[in-house]
Amino acid sequence: MTTLDVYLHRELVGVLERHEQARLGFRYSPEWVGQGGEALSLSLPLREEPFDDDECRPFFAGLLPEGEFLRAIARFFQVSAENPFSVLSAIGGECAGAVSLASPDSEPPFLNAAEPRWLDEGELGRLLEAMPSPALIADSGEEGEGFRLSLAGTRDKLSVLCERDRIGVTRGRPPSTHIIKKPVADLEGMVANEAYCLNLGAESGLPTATASPLAANGEEGLLVRRYDRRQLDHAEVVRIHQEDFCQALGVLPDIKYQAEGGPSIATCAKLIREHVSAPAVDLMTFLDALLFNLLIGNTDAHGKNFSLLLDGEGAPKLAPLYDLLSARAYWPFRRKMAMKYGGEYRGDRIRGRHLERLASDLAISSVGVRRRAREIGERVRDAAPRARERLPEPWRDVGLLDSIDQLIVDSTEEIRRAAGEPA
């Protein structure tokens, strides 16, 4: 196979090509260009000319998992983890947002999809225990076809359909509505950590993904509602096209950290200013997210952990925040953030001059940034009891949450001190 059909919302938009030495090429179909269709990515504007490997690889590689998760899947399918085309041909049937890839001799995605398979607690637990690769190609019945689901990120994930009080696996029709994230084995309290931080962000007024811990047959996971799905009044679930900041900027996922050449705060702010429908609102939300990550010690907030919704009401717009987790609760010494804050990576060394440069990077007044820095600490501190109360009973008293609360107290004082310092 040397080509894959690329679909957006079940519409054929173009073809992904595999060239020599596993290089990629992408071209929009003449019909899609002629009718003025939606661009697949901000980094792949609608045009007749094909895109070469350097231009299209960041978007398509960005659809795939990363790290050991990707390598495990590649081993299972006996393909190279370094070859996005081969991996997408195996698991690209339903990607994040509204993108699907299919072989050119197959039917459009989900046209004749089998009915969802609903899981009891034992089946769900066994799927979680078997993650990553077997969960992606779990027995799909007589058709003998896998689920072909691709979700970006380094964590093991299972895409599921939640309907009333039941959880199932779907072949894409209807679309999955939630993701179950499995904790890293050697990081105690990880599910409680992420659930608490997401609750804390929501209770502090930030737009965040909704999540709740779950347990099934002795296995633990975090059930996250997909923000790239929308449920209509008549209960139909529809996909929302989205992409992360690295994809939108044409940056490979391998270099998502600023220190490796990935997006900086200034680059992200420029992306927001130039492309979203309400830049002033989304820039302030982005600032709040940056400050919140400082407070909770989320040192992993890189370019792939921010996304844009490319269609739907008010689009393009900043997607709800996700992957909010305190890394410093595990490694107190890890103070280097994924992006520089006004020229400084270490959160505990940010001073007034760094906030001034941060304001310049965001094109927001320095007075506004300093005021927001003072306010966000108070909002997060006051929200902590409510955020913990939202957790189910077994996860509410995890000791790690006390460490996060103390970290927030210390970080709030550091930010308040910096906000009061002269430039």
Question: Is the domain of 90 the same as that of 141?
Answer: no
- 107 within some domain: no
Question: At 355, is the pLDDT very low, low, confident or very high (cuts 50, 70, 90)?
Answer: very high
- 98 within some domain: yes
**Ramachandran quadrant class, 193 (left: phi over 0; alpha: psi -120 to 50; beta: rest):** alpha
Question: Is the domain of 314 the same as that of 254?
Answer: yes
Give the total number of structural domains in the chain: 3
> Which pTM does this prediction carry?
0.93
Tokens standing for 175? 């679309």
Backbone φ and ψ of 251, nearest 5°: -110, 130
Question: Is the domain of 294 the same as that of 211?
Answer: no
Out of 300, 323, 361, 405, which one is annotated catalytic? 300
- Please give the DSSP secondary-structure letter assigned to residue 254: G
Backbone φ and ψ of 340, nearest 5°: -75, 135
Question: Is the domain of 326 the same as that of 354?
Answer: yes
In 182-265, beta strands by DSSP E? 211-216, 219-225, 229-231, 237-239, 242-244
Q: Can 348 be counted among the known catalytic residues?
A: no
pLDDT tens string 74-102 = 887 888 888 999 999 888 888 888 999 99
Residue 249: give its domain's CATH number. 1.10.1070.20
pLDDT tens string 104-146 = 978 777 777 778 889 999 999 988 888 764 444 434 433 434 4
Mean pLDDT score, 164-171:
87
Instruction: Mark which of 102, 128, 159 sits at the end of a domain.
Output: 102
Mean pLDDT score, 356-365:
96
Question: Is the domain of 294 the same as that of 198?
Answer: no
Residue 359: domain span: 242-420
